[in-house]
Amino acid sequence: MEFSRADKGMGALALALGVIFGLAAWAKGQIPSQTHAQSAAEVPHPPTLLTQCEPRYPKKAKDAGVVFTEMVQVPIIIRRDGSVRVLMEEFSPSNVPEGTGLRRAAIEAVEKWRYSPGRLGDGTPVKTRSLVEIAFTPDASGQCANVVRE
CATH topology of domain 34-146: TolA/TonB C-terminal domain (3.30.2420)
Q: What is the CA radius of gyration of the chain?
A: 23
Domains in the chain: boundaries: 1-31, 34-146
2-28: average pLDDT: 56
Residue 12 has pLDDT above 80, yes or no: no
Least confident of 8-17, 101-110, 128-137: 8-17
pLDDT in tens, 90-121: 998 888 998 999 999 999 999 999 999 999 99
pLDDT band, very low/low/confident/very high, at 56 (cuts 50, 70, 90): very high
Per-residue 3-state assignment (H helix, E strand, C coil) for 74-113: EEEEECCCCCEEECHHHCCCCCCCCCCCHHHHHHHHHCCC
| Cα–chain center distance at 99 | 24
Q: What is the mean pLDDT of the chain?
A: 83
Q: CB-hemisphere CA count at 13 Å for 33?
A: 8
